Amino acid sequence: MTDKVTKDERSRMMAAVRGKDTKPEKLVRSGLFADGFRFRLHAKELPGKPDIVLPRYGTAMFVNGCFWHGHDCPRGRRPASNTEFWNRKLDRNFERDQEKTRALENDGWFVEIVWECRLADDLKRVLRRLRSKRTRLRKAESS
């Protein structure tokens, strides 16, 4: 039997199997926590089980690996071999991501995506938005 999966592809697949609690996700969590934000993880009752949920801020977050979620960046490039297999799989992931976001937004959630390849910048952006929301909430509560 021939093994059509290259070493590189296999290690990517193994990384995806580990799924939860990936390193990028941990970095995002500690960034939020250090800034005083409290959150829940893998909210099973919400569409698409967001990686991080901040109920007080109406925010649901996904920390996406570029390859699996088809980011438009070098890491998101599709493999040159087994193209049919990968196109099918990655197209499905993409559609699923769109559906999750739509479902969450319909339920009134603000959806934030943090991409692996630009984690620090995305996290900064998210923190900026959350901080200004926190200021507004505190003002509203104290008046």
Binding site for Zn ion (CB under 5 A): 66, 71, 73, 75, 115, 117
- What is the distance between the alpha carbons of residues 118 and 67, in angstroms, rounded to a whole number? 13
Cα dist. 11→16, 24, 86 in Å? 9, 17, 15
Among residues 77 and 131, whose Cβ is nearest to Zn ion? 77
Q: Nearest distance from residue 38's CB to Zn ion, in Å?
A: 28
Q: Nearest distance from residue 57's CB to Zn ion, in Å?
A: 25
Q: Nearest distance from residue 107's CB to Zn ion, in Å?
A: 27
Containing H/E element for 11?
helix 7-18
Return the closest-CA partner of residue 65 out of 29, 114, 8, 17. Answer: 114
Q: Do the Cβ atoms of 53 and 43 come closer than 8 Å?
A: yes
Among residues 109 and 115, whose Cβ is nearest to Zn ion? 115
Q: Nearest distance from residue 3's CB to Zn ion, in Å?
A: 28
Among residues 75 and 136, whose Cβ is nearest to Zn ion? 75
Ramachandran region, residue 46 (left: φ > 0; alpha: ψ -120 to 50; beta: rest) = beta
Among residues 29 and 122, whose Cβ is nearest to Zn ion? 122
